[in-house]
Structure 1
Amino acid sequence: MRSSPVVATAVALFALLAGCTEQTSGDPSASGEPTGTSEQPTDEPTTTPSESGGGVADLQPCDILEPADVQGLQLTGGEEKEVSGARVCRYRYEGATLNDSFTVSVELFDGIGLDDLNVDDIQPMKVGGHDGASFTDPGGGCGVSIGVTDTSRVDNTAVGGENQELACRLATQLATAVEKRLP
């Protein structure tokens, strides 16, 4: 029985590749000698001063509320997205009618503070131990922003239905639950 040239080539290629498994750190040089030292991994955190100043950079929007909070607010879902530079967790509040149903969101702004809030009809307020502001929009939505640092905030919004009184109540209840878990 004759050996196939394909099998012989495959065996030779395998043997060649098996000898090429050693890795050398450093930069390649013309002499073939490694020129760098090997880098050892460290357990040091890689945060910048703006990320480690007690802001919201280390928070995940869908992890802020406890399951009991979600249930108590009668919310469903919990879908995480990025929207216009904010890390957002969207929930759904199903009211008795479409006018009483809302998309309810926790929105984390890592680099935009409470003073940078760009909406009409802002009403300063306190939310627990944090400065805050409530706002409404002509479409029936409502929000409560919580300042965490000068350059970070959390917006708590209820939009979609037409019952603005209910939207504001939901946004305020959401903000109260969220504030308890903020730095």
Structure 2
Amino acid sequence: MIERQTDAVRMLTAQHREMEELLKQVKESDDTNRQSLFAKAADKLTVHIKSEEEIFYPAVNAARTEDDLLEALEEHLSLKRLLADLLEMDPGEKEFEAKFKVLKEQTEHHHEEEEEKLFPAVLRMIDGDKREELGREMLALQQEMTAQGEPREGVTDETAAAAPLNATQEQSGKQA
């Protein structure tokens, strides 16, 4: 299906499945492959989180979604803190394995909550054209971050507090 390829909700849902598969691969990998697989998963998770925080969440903020969005931002903060800790560890360490398991479980929980609560509300509130526009904006940001190198490296600077809900609301009006 060519139309609505960049629908924000569909794109984010597809990225959830991709990240879950990557996290599963990290968990099942041997020590020699774990480092590179984890780096790839950390980059994907970082650009996904950033595009939600900077574009998607501010654009879909409404009274009916504010509580879900604030909770999602706190979950992002928790994921960033876990990522920051894991990036400082050797993937062969026992502690890495335990902390990674928590990251994987929290990521899956976060995806489930978005897909069961937030996304249905967004589908009701925002028309397809606007979701397409948001998807294009998020994809452009994700591609830009990926092109700049290792997005995961910036996550350690974002662990003090959750991102504000209105972080870049003015961006939601830009064309990608």
- More strand per residue: 1 or 2? 1
TM-score, scaled to structure 1: 0.22
TM-score, scaled to structure 2: 0.23
- More helix per residue: 1 or 2? 2
Higher relative contact order structure (alpha carbons within 8 Å, sequence separation ≥ 6): 2
Structure with greater Cα Rg:
1
